[in-house]
Structure 1
């Protein structure tokens, strides 16, 4: 009886967590199932930032996350302005597949529902001063940090 109750509690918690968008502070690793941020510095003034969100993370929210992360990195490095030198946003369907063994040691397999993952990859370049003429939009780090909110 106790094990059934524990299983129900675990299933309920899993359903509640599955109904939420990927949180902003998630770092991509094994335990996050490949979702979250991965940041690589590619130049003294540049970073590649990638973010993968779950089914409940739409493109607009994923881009907002990346915009905020870009501003945070540039501010920490002393750059009051930044631009995206490249940007790619995708929403991909991802199927899940499982293999297991039942009580009589028979091999079982199956697939679950198709999920959609939103991914954004950008290259960010920081500037110490705002360029006079730029081929792409230049963002003010302080303005983004003050106005782009990622939590409720």
Structure 2
């Protein structure tokens, strides 16, 4: 009886947690099922930042997360401005899961699809606001004070 109660509590907690968007401070790992951030420095002034969110993380929230993470990374490296030299955001159906059984010629079952939003950007930091970057240049301090991780 006690194990049934523990199983029920675990199931309820799992359902509650799965109803939330992927939190901003999540690092991509096995334990987060591949969701969260991964940051790789690709040059002295450039980084590739990727974020994968769960079904409840939409494109707009993903974009805010990546913008804020880019500003944090550039500030930590001592840059006042940054630009995206490459950017790609997708919302894809993934993870089909199905259960079925066959009885004569009839197949009974069900399946589910999840949607996940992913974004990959290449960020380059600058010390001065330059127009030579070929793209929009963002002010690190402005982004940090005006972009929120709230959905």
TM-score (norm 1): 0.88
Q: Is the 8 A contact 1:95 1:111 kept in 2?
A: no
Unmatched segments (≥5 aa) in structure 2 = 100-108
Give the aligned length: 142
Quote the residue 1:117 is aligned against: 116
The Cα RMSD (Å) is 1.7
Quote the residue 2:104 is aligned against: none
Unmatched segments (≥5 aa) in structure 1 = 100-109
Residue 88 (str. 1) matches residue 82 (str. 2): no
Q: Deviations over 1:90-126 (max 9, x none)?
A: 0010124489xxxxxxxxxx87410000000000000
- Structure 1 runs, 4 residues or longer, greater than 6 Å off: none
Q: CA deviation at 1:151?
A: 3.8
The residue correspondences of 1:1-150 to structure 2 (distance < 5 A) are 1-97=1-97, 112-150=111-149
Q: CA deviation at 1:132?
A: 3.8
TM-score (norm 2): 0.89
Q: Describe the SS at the equivalent of 2:122.
A: strand
Q: Is the 8 A contact 1:95 1:112 kept in 2?
A: no
Q: Deviations over 1:17-41 (max 9, x none)?
A: 0000000000000000000000000
Q: Deviations over 1:10-59 (max 9, x none)?
A: 00000000000000000000000000000000000000000000000000
Per mean C-alpha deviation after superposition, the further-off stretch among 128-137 and 52-61 is 128-137
